[in-house]
C-alpha cells in the first residue's frame, strides 16, 4: 500500500503524544510552526521544551549535536521565541573564517588596524546589538581568541582591532558544535573557563537515527516542499520507500535526508516519488524485508516471486499490459500479475505514467 501525502497515514497523526502535559505539547507544536521545525518525537519535543524555557532569558545557549541535525534551526528558534526576535540574528561560522580574520569578524576593526584593513569595519557583536550572535562550530575557535569571547560574555566588553576604546555589547550568544567540547578541554584545545561559561544551558539535538519516528514527517515535508518548488505533483510515497528511508541510519542526519529527497523529486515525473532504495547503503543489521508467509519455504518462494516481478517491472518501466508489458514478459495474464502485485505488496516505482 502506498502512503498518500494527504492521507496522514500511520506515523503521522494517529500516533499518541507521549507528553503528559497538553500545554507543553501545544508549545512544541507552536514552535514547530513558527520556526519550520518538523518532527514530533519525544526527543525533539524535549529540545523544543528547552527552547521555550531558555528563549525569554538572556542566557547563553550551547547546542550540541551531529552535523545536519538542525542545530542552526534550533538556534533560530531560540532567537525567534525571545524578546530579541525583532533584532538581528547574526551568524558566524568559526570553521569557515580563517583564524587570523575571526577576531576582526567578531569585534570589528579600525581603518589601518592591519594590512588590508582599508576601511573601518563593524564586527558581528556590534551588528547584533539587541539581537543574537550565533557562533557555529565554536569548537574551531582559536585558543588565543577565546579569552576575548569570554570577556564579552562576562563583562559585555570588547574593543575593535586597532582602537583602544572599550565598547559595550548587548548581544545574546548562542553557540553550536558537533564536537565534544569536554574532550577538547582535556586535550587543551578549548579553555575550560570558556567552556563552563558557554555550558550554562546546554541543548543536545539527537541524531536522526535516534528519533526515527520523525523521518516520515520529514520525508513528507521535503517532498511537498521540493515538489512545490519544482512544480511537480508528487502525492504518493511508496510504503517500501518509506520503510527503507526509516531504516537507513542517516549519518548526515536531516541535511542528508533533505538531499536524498531533493534528488528523488528531480527524477520523479509522475505522482509517485521515485527513489532507488539501493542508493541508500542500507545498514548491515537492518532487518530483512518482511514476508507474508508463515513457513520458511513459503517466505522464500514469495521472495523469489517478488524479485522476478520487480525485475520485470523495472525492465518495462512499470508497464504491465501489452506486448511489451511485464505480464507478457513473465508469461502471466494481466489480471494474474495484477493480483500477485497486490498480494505481495509491490509498489511500482519507476514509471512515467503510473497511477
Where b means 16+ CB within 10 Å and e means fewer, 133-142 reads: bbbbbbbbbe
With beta carbons less than 8 A apart as the criterion, state whether 3 and 9 touch. Answer: yes
Shortest distance (Å) from residue 170 CB to ligand ADP: 25
With beta carbons less than 8 A apart as the criterion, state whether 282 and 315 touch. Answer: no
Given ligand ADP, Mg ion, none, residue 73, with its beta carbon under 5 to 8 Å by kind, binds: ligand ADP
Q: Give 3-state DSSP helix, strand, coil % of the chain, rounded to 5.
A: 45, 10, 40
32-51: contacts with ligand ADP (CB under 6 A):
36-39
Shortest distance (Å) from residue 40 CB to ligand ADP: 10
Shortest distance (Å) from residue 36 CB to ligand ADP: 6
Q: Which residue, 49 or 108, has its beta carbon nearer to ligand ADP?
A: 49
Q: Are strands 121-122 and 157-159 parallel, antiparallel or unpaired?
A: unpaired
308 binds Mg ion (CB under 5 A): no
For residue 221, count other CB atoms closer than 10 A to its CB.
19
Q: Which residue, 28 or 330, has its beta carbon nearer to ligand ADP?
A: 28
163 binds Mg ion (CB under 5 A): no
Shortest distance (Å) from residue 92 CB to ligand ADP: 13
303 binds Mg ion (CB under 5 A): no
- Give the residues across from 131 on adjacent strands: none
Residue nearest to ligand ADP as judged by C-beta position: 70
Three-class SS of residue 177? strand
215-254: contacts with ligand ADP (CB under 6 A):
254
Q: Which residue, 72 or 159, has its beta carbon nearer to Mg ion?
A: 72
Name residue, grid cell 519550520.
Answer: 36
Instruction: Tell me the C-alpha distance between 179 and 157, whole Å.
Output: 27
67 binds ligand ADP (CB under 6 A): yes
With beta carbons less than 8 A apart as the criterion, state whether 161 and 110 touch. Answer: yes
258 binds ligand ADP (CB under 6 A): yes
Instruction: Tell me the C-alpha distance between 192 and 185, whole Å.
Output: 6
72 binds Mg ion (CB under 5 A): yes
Given Mg ion, ligand ADP, none, residue 58, with its beta carbon under 5 to 8 Å by kind, binds: none
Identify which range of 30-38, 50-58, 126-134, 317-325 contacts ligand ADP by CB under 6 A. 30-38
Question: Distance between the two ends of the chain, CA-based, in angstroms?
Answer: 13
Shortest distance (Å) from residue 47 CB to ligand ADP: 9
Shortest distance (Å) from residue 152 CB to ligand ADP: 22
194 binds ligand ADP (CB under 6 A): no
Which grid cell is 232? 511537480
Q: Which residue, 44 or 313, has its beta carbon nearer to ligand ADP?
A: 44
With beta carbons less than 8 A apart as the criterion, state whether 148 and 104 touch. Answer: no
For residue 203, CA distances in Å to 39, 54, 63, 123, 280 come to 17, 10, 5, 27, 30
Sequence-ordered list of residues with C-beta below 8 angstroms from that of 284, at least 6 positions apart, any chain = none
Shortest distance (Å) from residue 35 CB to ligand ADP: 9
The backbone region for 132, taken as left when phi is positive above 0, alpha when psi lies in -120 to 50, beta otherwise, is: beta
Three-class SS of residue 294? coil
Given Mg ion, ligand ADP, none, residue 293, with its beta carbon under 5 to 8 Å by kind, binds: none
Identify which range of 61-69, 101-109, 119-127, 229-237 contacts ligand ADP by CB under 6 A. 61-69
Q: Which residue, 128 or 135, has its beta carbon nearer to ligand ADP?
A: 135
Choice from 70, 123, 216, 318 touching ligand ADP (CB under 6 A): 70
Q: What is the contact surface with ligand ADP in residues (CB under 6 A)? A: 36-39, 65, 67-73, 254-255, 258
Q: What is the contact surface with Mg ion in residues (CB under 5 A)? A: 72
Amino acid at each position: 500500500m502506498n502512503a498518500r501525502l494527504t492521507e496522514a497515514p500511520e506515523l503521522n497523526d494517529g500516533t499518541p503524544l507521549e507528553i503528559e502535559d497538553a500545554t507543553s505539547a501545544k508549545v512544541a507544536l507552536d514552535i514547530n510552526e513558527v520556526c519550520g521545525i518538523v518532527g514530533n518525537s519525544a526527543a525533539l519535543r524535549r529540545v523544543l521544551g528547552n527552547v521555550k524555557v531558555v528563549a525569554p532569558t538572556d542566557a547563553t545557549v550551547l547546542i550540541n549535536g551531529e552535523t545536519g541535525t538542525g542545530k542552526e534551526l534550533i538556534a533560530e528558534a531560540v532567537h525567534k521565541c525571545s524578546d530579541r526576535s525583532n533584532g538581528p540574528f547574526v551568524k558566524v561560522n568559526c570553521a569557515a573564517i580563517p583564524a587570523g580574520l575571526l577576531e576582526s569578524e567578531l569585534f570589528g576593526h579600525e581603518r589601518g588596524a592591519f594590512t588590508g584593513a582599508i576601511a573601518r569595519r563593524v564586527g558581528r557583536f556590534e551588528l547584533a546589538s539587541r539581537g543574537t550572535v550565533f557562533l557555529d562550530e565554536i569548537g574551531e575557535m582559536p585558543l588565543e581568541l577565546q579569552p576575548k569571547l569570554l570577556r564579552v560574555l562576562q563583562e559585555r566588553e570588547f574593543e575593535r582591532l586597532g582602537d583602544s576604546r572599550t565598547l559595550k555589547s548587548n548581544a545574546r550568544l548562542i553557540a553550536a558544535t558537533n564536537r565534544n567540547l569536554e574532550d577538547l578541554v582535556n586535550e587543551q584545545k578549548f579553555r575550560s573557563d570558556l567552556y563552563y561559561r558557554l555550558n550554562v544551558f546546554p541543548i543536545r539535538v539527537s541524531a536522526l537515527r535516534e528519533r526515527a519516528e520523525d523521518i516520515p514527517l520529514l520525508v513528507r515535508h521535503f517532498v511537498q516542499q521540493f515538489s512545490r518548488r519544482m512544480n511537480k505533483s508528487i502525492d504518493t510515497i511508496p510504503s517500501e520507500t518509506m520503510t527503507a528511508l526509516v531504516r537507513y541510519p542517516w549519518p548526515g542526519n536531516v541535511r542528508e535526508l533533505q538531499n536524498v529527497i531533493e534528488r528523488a523529486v528531480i527524477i520523479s515525473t509522475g505522482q509517485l516519488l521515485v527513489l532507488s532504495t539501493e542508493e541508500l547503503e542500507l545498514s548491515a543489521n537492518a532487518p530483512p524485508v518482511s514476508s507474508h508467509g508463515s513457513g520458511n519455504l513459503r517466505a522464500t518462494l514469495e521472495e523469489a516471486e517478488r524479485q522476478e516481478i520487480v525485475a520485470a517491472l523495472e525492465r518495462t518501466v512499470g508497464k504491465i499490459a501489452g506486448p511489451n508489458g511485464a505480464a507478457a514478459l513473465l508469461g502471466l495474464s494481466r489480471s494474474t500479475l495484477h493480483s500477485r502485485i497486490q498480494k505481495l505488496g509491490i509498489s511500482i516505482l519507476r514509471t512515467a505514467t503510473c497511477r
